[in-house]
Structure 1
Amino acid sequence: MAAAEPVTVRILEREYRVMCSPPERRALMESALFLDGQMREIRDSGRVSSMDKIAVMCALNLAEEILKLRQELAAREEKIDRRISDLASQLDQFTGTE
C-alpha cells in the first residue's frame, strides 16, 4: 500500500491539505474540482453567502443525489432479480426440472 502524502486542493479560493495515497490523487483532485463547481453554483446564485452555509447546502444537494441514486440502484437490482427469477422459472419449465 502506498504511503499517504499531503495534497493541496483549492475550493472557493481556499486551500485545503488532504492526505491521500498516490493512486487516489487523481480521484481526489477530480472530487475537489467537482465540489468547487457545485459550491460556486450555490454561491453565485446569490441566495447563500457564508462559506458554512454554502458548504451545508452543497452537502445537502449531494446527499439528496446520492440517496436518489441508491434508490434507483435498488429498484434496478430488484428488477434484475425478478427477471432472473422469471428466466429461471421459464428454463425449469422448458427443461422439465420443476
Structure 2
Amino acid sequence: MSKEKIKVSLSVLENPYQLMCEPHDRNLLIESAELLNTHLQDLRNANPKLSHERLLVMGALQMTFDLLQERQTLAHEVSSVNQLSARLISALDMANGELPLNK
C-alpha cells in the first residue's frame, strides 16, 4: 500500500493552511476544515469581542468535548449491543438444547 501524500490547501477563519495527507483522506480533511470554520464562525458571531486566539482555543475545547461525548455514547451503545448479543446467543443455545457458554 502506498504512503504517498498529497498537499491539500485549506482555509480556516480566512487564513490559508497547507496540510499533507494520503489521497483517500483528502475529502475528510476538507470536510473537517469546513466543519471547523462553521463552528468557529458561529462562536465568533456569538462572541464578537473574543480575540482570535481565545476563539480558536474555545472552539477546539468545545469540539474536543463533543468528540469525547460521542465516544462515550458509542462505547455505551457497543456495550449494550454486546450484552444483548450474549443474551441472544444464550437463548439460542438453550433453545437448541445446548449448555450456555460461560464468558
Q: TM-score, normalised by structure 2?
A: 0.85
Equivalent in the alignment of 1:39: 40
Distance 2:98 2:25 in 1: 50
Instruction: Provide the C-alpha distance between the structure 2 equivalents of 1:24 and 1:95, rounded to a whole number of angstroms.
Output: 47
CA distance, structure 2, for counterparts of residue 54 and residue 72 of structure 1: 27
SS in 1 for 2:11: strand
User: Which residue is 1:19 aligned to?
Assistant: 20
Amino-acid identity (%): 30
Residue 6 of structure 1: CA displacement? Answer: 2.3
For residue 68 of structure 2, what is the aligned residue in structure 1? 67
Cα distance in 1, alignment partners of residues 78 and 54 from structure 2: 36
CA RMSD of aligned residues (A): 1.5
Distance across 2 between alignment mates of 1:17 and 1:71: 32
Distance, in Å, in 2 between the alignment partners of 1:18 and 1:9 is 8
Structure 1 residue 78 corresponds to structure 2 residue 76? no
State TM-score, norm by structure 1: 0.88
> Post-superposition shift, 1:13?
1.1
- Following TM superposition, by how much is the alpha carbon of 1:18 offset from its aligned partner in structure 2, in angstroms? 1.0
C-alpha distance in 1, partners of 2:6/2:60?
26
Detail structure 1 runs of 4+ shifted over 4 Å in the superposition: none
Amino acid at match of 2:40: M
Looking at structure 2, the residues matched to 85 and 24 of structure 1 have their Cα atoms a distance apart, in angstroms, of 36
Gaps of 5+ in 2: none
Q: Number of residue pairs matched? A: 98
Please report how far the alpha carbon of residue 47 of structure 1 lies from its aligned counterpart in structure 2 after TM superposition.
5.5
Q: Which residue of 1 aligns with 2:90?
A: 89
Deviation per CA, 1:57-83, whole angstroms, max 9, x where unpaired? 111111111111111111111111111
